[in-house]
Amino acid sequence: MTHSYPLTSLYGDYLRALVGLVFMGTPFYFTLGNLYLMIIFGALTFLFLFFGIRTVIRHLTVIETTPQTITAIGPLGRQIAWDKITKVDLKYFSTKREKSADGWMQLKICDVTHCLKIESNLEGFDQIAARAATAAFNNGAEINETTMENFTAMGVTVDLPEEKTG
């Protein structure tokens, strides 16, 4: 099964990268004589440029899942076997202080050598997250408390062995 980032879900990020490049790049150009401001605006311009490139990479990437593996096909593509997963991290981000549902999630799946990051605007993100949780549970992979809570919030229940104390 293949999953991709719908273009409509990436419009926002393209716009953010563009606005950031304009608002940071323009002052950067005009502050070439002032070292401190040049460093500040230069770093910010680079950050937005990097973000834009990352958005393009996500746009071109297709995630393929099979019963054995999850594969990112595209620039910086990589493959991880479900039974080789050593760590799963599910983070939730929100720019609102009250951490309401107005945010997005990021799933990080790692084996011994690689990590694969997927964001919640990917089609079929919930199924991939559920599959990753199951695989991580079966492998006894590292899952932190925050990730557990996020899985629970998504409706994915993971019963982990009781944590040792002392």
Partner 1 sequence: MLGYVIRRILVMIPTLVAISALVFIIIQLPPGDYFTTYMNELQSRGESVDKAKLEFIKQQYGFDKPMIEQYFVWLTGLLQGDFGYSFEFSRPVSEVVGDRLSLSFVVSFTTIIFTWVVAFPIGVYSAVRQYSIGDYTLTFFGFLGLATPNFLLALVLQWVAFTSFQTSIGGLMDPAYLDQGWSIDKMLSVLEHLWVPVVVIGTSGTAGMIRRLRANLLDELHKQYVTTARAKGLPPGRALIKYPLRMALNPFIADIGNLLPEVISGAAIVSIVLSLPTTGPMLLNALQSQDMYLAGSFLMFLATLTVVGTLISDLALGMLDPRIRLGGGAEK
Closest CB to partner 1 among 33 and 67?
33
CA 150/CA 156 separation, integer angstroms: 8
CA 129/CA 15 separation, integer angstroms: 27
Report in angstroms how near the CB of residue 68 gets to partner 1 at its nearest: 25
Token readout for 1 is: 């099964």
59-67, 73-81, 89-97, 132-140 -> range binding partner 1 (CB under 8 A): 89-97
95 lies in the site for partner 1, by CB under 8 A: yes
121 lies in the site for partner 1, by CB under 8 A: yes
Token readout for 6 is: 């719908």
Q: What is the DSSP letter of 128?
A: H
Touching partner 1, residues 53-82 (CB under 8 A): 54
37 lies in the site for partner 1, by CB under 8 A: yes
Report in angstroms how near the CB of residue 145 gets to partner 1 at its nearest: 8
Closest CB to partner 1 among 11 and 68?
11
CA nearest neighbour of 114 among 150, 71, 148, 144: 71
Q: Which amino acid does the sequence have at 164? A: K
19 lies in the site for partner 1, by CB under 8 A: yes
Total Cβ atoms within 10 A of residue 102:
9
